[in-house]
């Protein structure tokens, strides 16, 4: 089993959820996070949809002058070893715009998973 953690643009979460479900990965966990990559982000050139329209032009200019964290979405998908490539490819294709800030995907080994309700473990639990 593997745990796939993806940090994506917040305006891509619904499309990513839909695409994962269509490709056989309906079980995901998600949350709002704040983060940044290596490069400085100039908010003057970022589409407001990336910021969900909640940032005024004046505030965007102030933010562009610093190393502030920007809103992102973090999703976690647990898959069997055989499904890792398909799940990662689904996330990559859905979120790739070719621009800085598209996100990151991390794949980690997962020792075990246990379904609380039934006690099933391993692949049966996912």
Q: Is residue 50 part of a domain?
A: no
Distances (CA, A) of 19 to 26, 35, 48, 87, 89: 9, 24, 23, 10, 11
Tell me if 40 sits within 8 A of 20, measured CB to CB. Answer: no
Q: Is residue 46 part of a domain?
A: no
Q: How far apart are CA 4 and CA 108, in angstroms?
A: 6
pLDDT digits (tens, 9 = 90+) for 15-35: 999 999 999 999 999 999 998
Using the predicted structure, report yes or no on whether residue 89 has a pLDDT greater than 80: yes
Q: Is residue 47 part of a domain?
A: no
Q: Is residue 106 part of a domain?
A: yes
Q: Is residue 93 part of a domain?
A: yes
pLDDT (average), residues 114-125: 95
Q: Is residue 59 part of a domain?
A: no
**The domain that contains 121 carries what CATH number?**
3.30.70.120
Which alpha helices (H) appear in the chain, and where do they start and end? 13-22, 57-64, 84-95
Query: Which residue would you say has higher pLDDT here, 40 or 103?
Result: 103
Question: What is the model's pLDDT at position 119?
Answer: 96
Using the predicted structure, report yes or no on whether residue 37 has a pLDDT greater than 90: no
Range(s) of the domain holding residue 104: 2-37+71-125
Q: Is residue 14 part of a domain?
A: yes
Question: What is the model's pLDDT at position 42?
Answer: 57
Question: What is the model's pLDDT at position 38?
Answer: 78
Q: Is residue 48 part of a domain?
A: no
Q: How many domains does the chain contain in total?
A: 1
Using the predicted structure, report yes or no on whether residue 1 has a pLDDT greater than 70: yes
């Amino acid at each position: 089993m593997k745990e796939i953690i993806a940090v994506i643009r917040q305006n891509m979460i619904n499309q990513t959820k839909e695409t994962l479900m269509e490709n056989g990965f309906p079980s995901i966990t998600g949350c709002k996070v704040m983060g940044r990559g290596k490069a400085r982000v100039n908010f003057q050139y970022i589409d407001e949809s990336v910021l969900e329209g909640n940032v005024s032009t004046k505030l965007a200019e102030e933010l562009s002058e610093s190393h502030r964290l920007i809103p992102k979405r973090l999703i976690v998908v647990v898959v069997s070893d055989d499904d890792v490539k398909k799940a990662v490819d689904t996330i990559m294709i859905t979120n790739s715009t070719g621009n800085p800030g598209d996100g990151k995907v991390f794949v980690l080994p997962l020792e075990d998973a246990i379904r609380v309700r039934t006690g099933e473990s391993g692949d049966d639990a996912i």
